[in-house]
Structure 1
Amino acid sequence: MAGVFQRPAARRDLIEHYVFLADNGGETVADRFLTRAQESFTQILEQPLMGSPLASHRPELAGLRK
Structure 2
Amino acid sequence: MDFSAAVWRKSTHSGGDTGQCVEIAGLPRVVAVRDSKDPDGPKLSFSPATWQAFSADVKSGTFDLQH
Higher share in strand = 2
Higher share in helix = 1
By relative contact order (CA 8 Å, sep 6+), the higher-ranking structure is 1
Structure number, greater radius of gyration: 1
TM-score (norm 2): 0.29
